[in-house]
């Protein structure tokens, strides 16, 4: 589990005053605490807020002066979670201040976006905050803080990884997914994937030494450098996270705004117009109804797979039934148009025997 150094996040503060040296003591394993939902995490963040309050004081800041961090990895906040927190804020008031970074006449939000959104929901004018200096590599600091957080959904994580590669390596976003897959294939082909796994939690110097020894292109080295710096396994990213980027937009919306899990979304991705044999618009409507059923009934992944298969079978079966119905109607119409008076006796007897056989078959099928 990677360690997140809160002190280094605000390293500029350390050189300003003795009070800020306290921040250097906050070197806890933030990711482990977040993953375990440990109460120690909130105590740790509370210590940070208190240290910042000592140096800059707690203040009320107008919501209109706050700018959210567009590069924050966590971009999804369900309406339910915002309304729930808003109810708490309205009842008990704001207990913990948010953390912001001054930017001219405005403030960049670093921690407490859900509190900020809940305050907007309540139509508050101001919110309690403490300020911190602008850290270097803000996106990476935020990403390291949130990337293994249980509440950071798979879509946010995938997009955050891509954004970090763009920021650090200056690689076109369109080529990053294929670049990561090509990197993993090359490592596997050369039998070097294990070397990469072994340095996941090592120092940056050890990681860079390992990368320099690998048979990779320059772009692949840059991608791998960013991924290892985040203590992430490129093989896992290629196999799991990148799939999130190819989801239908309506499924991405459901992840961000309705709380749909990434694993469920990947199953629902099979409800494409091609698989359902319907138009893209109708396929989207089927997926939307499926999402509602999954969330309402709290379906697990196996039950979601059964639901998806039943929807595909029903859609394709309906089309097949419609085709058979049309074929039957055409056959009946053709028979009705036949003028039997034009046939001779032998032809009529042959026709009678033919229909008698078909009637017998029909009787057997209807039993």
Span 40-66, pLDDT tens digits: 555 656 666 666 665 666 788 899 999
Mean pLDDT of the chain: 76
| Nearest-angstrom CA–CA distance, 346 and 342 | 12
User: Tens of pLDDT along 248-266?
Assistant: 999 999 988 888 988 899 9
Percent of the chain with pLDDT over 90: 22
Burial bucket for residue 227 (CB in 10 Å: 0-12, 13-18, 19+): buried
The full set of domain ranges for the chain reads 6-135, 153-245, 258-317, 337-367
234-246 burial by CB neighbour count: b if 16+ within 10 A, else e? Answer: bbebbebbbbbee
- Report which listed range, 36-40, 57-61, 272-276, is most confident: 272-276
Residues 6 or more apart in contact with residue 265 via CB below 8 angstroms = 155, 244, 247, 251, 252, 254, 255
Query: What backbone torsions phi and psi does residue 106 show, to the nearest 5 degrees?
Result: -125, 180
Q: Which of 157, 48, 159, 174 is nearest to 112 (CA)?
A: 48
Q: Is the pLDDT of residue 174 over 60?
A: yes
Percent of the chain with pLDDT over 70: 73
Q: Which of 122, 112, 134 is nearest to 16 (CA)?
A: 134
3-state secondary structure of 151: coil
How many other β-carbons are positioned within 10 Å of the β-carbon of residue 146? 20
Distances (CA, A) of 72 to 142, 179, 242, 276, 355: 6, 23, 18, 37, 73
pLDDT category at 80 given cuts 50, 70, 90 is confident
| Nearest-angstrom CA–CA distance, 107 and 68 | 8
Tell me which architecture the domain covering 6-135 has in CATH: Alpha-Beta Complex (3.90)
Question: What pLDDT does residue 337 have?
Answer: 79
Beta bridge partners of 108: 67, 101
Question: What pLDDT does residue 48 have?
Answer: 63
3-state secondary structure of 128: strand
Q: What is the pTM (predicted TM-score) of this model?
A: 0.50
Mean pLDDT of 17-37: 37
């Amino acid at each position: 589990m990677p360690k997140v150094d809160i002190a280094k996040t605000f390293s500029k503060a350390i050189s300003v005053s003795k009070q800020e040296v306290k921040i250097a003591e906050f070197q806890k394993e933030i990711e482990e605490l977040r993953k375990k939902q440990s109460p120690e995490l909130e105590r740790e963040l509370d210590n940070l807020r208190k240290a910042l309050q000592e140096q800059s004081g707690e203040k009320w800041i107008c919501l209109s002066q706050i700018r959210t961090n567009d590069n924050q990895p966590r971009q999804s906040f369900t309406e339910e979670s915002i309304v729930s927190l808003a109810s708490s804020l309205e009842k008990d008031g704001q207990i913990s201040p948010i953390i912001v970074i001054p930017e001219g006449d405005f403030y960049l939000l670093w921690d407490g976006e859900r509190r900020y959104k809940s305050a907007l929901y309540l139509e508050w004018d101001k919110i309690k905050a403490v300020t911190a200096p602008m850290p270097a590599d803000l996106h990476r600091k935020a990403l390291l803080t949130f990337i293994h957080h249980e509440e950071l959904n798979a879509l946010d994580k995938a997009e955050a990884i891509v954004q970090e590669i763009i920021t650090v390596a200056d690689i076109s976003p369109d080529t990053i997914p294929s670049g990561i897959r090509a990197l993993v294939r090359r490592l596997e082909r050369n039998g070097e994937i294990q070397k990469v796994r072994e340095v996941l939690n090592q120092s940056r110097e050890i990681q860079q030494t390992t990368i320099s020894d690998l048979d990779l292109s320059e772009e692949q080295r840059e991608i791998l450098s960013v991924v290892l710096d985040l203590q992430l396994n490129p093989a896992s990213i290629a196999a799991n996270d990148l799939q999130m980027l190819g989801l239908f937009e309506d499924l991405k919306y459901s992840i961000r705004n309705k709380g749909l899990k990434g694993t469920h979304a990947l199953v629902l991705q099979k409800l494409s117009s091609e698989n359902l044999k319907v138009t893209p618009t109708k396929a989207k409507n089927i997926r939307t109804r499926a999402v509602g059923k999954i969330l309402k009934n709290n379906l697990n992944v196996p039950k979601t797979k059964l639901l998806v298969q039943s929807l595909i079978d029903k859609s394709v079966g309906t089309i097949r039934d419609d085709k058979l119905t049309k074929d039957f109607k055409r056959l009946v119409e053709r028979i009705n148009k036949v003028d039997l008076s034009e046939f001779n006796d032998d032809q009529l007897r042959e026709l009678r025997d033919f229909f008698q056989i078909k009637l017998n078959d029909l009787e057997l099928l209807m039993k």
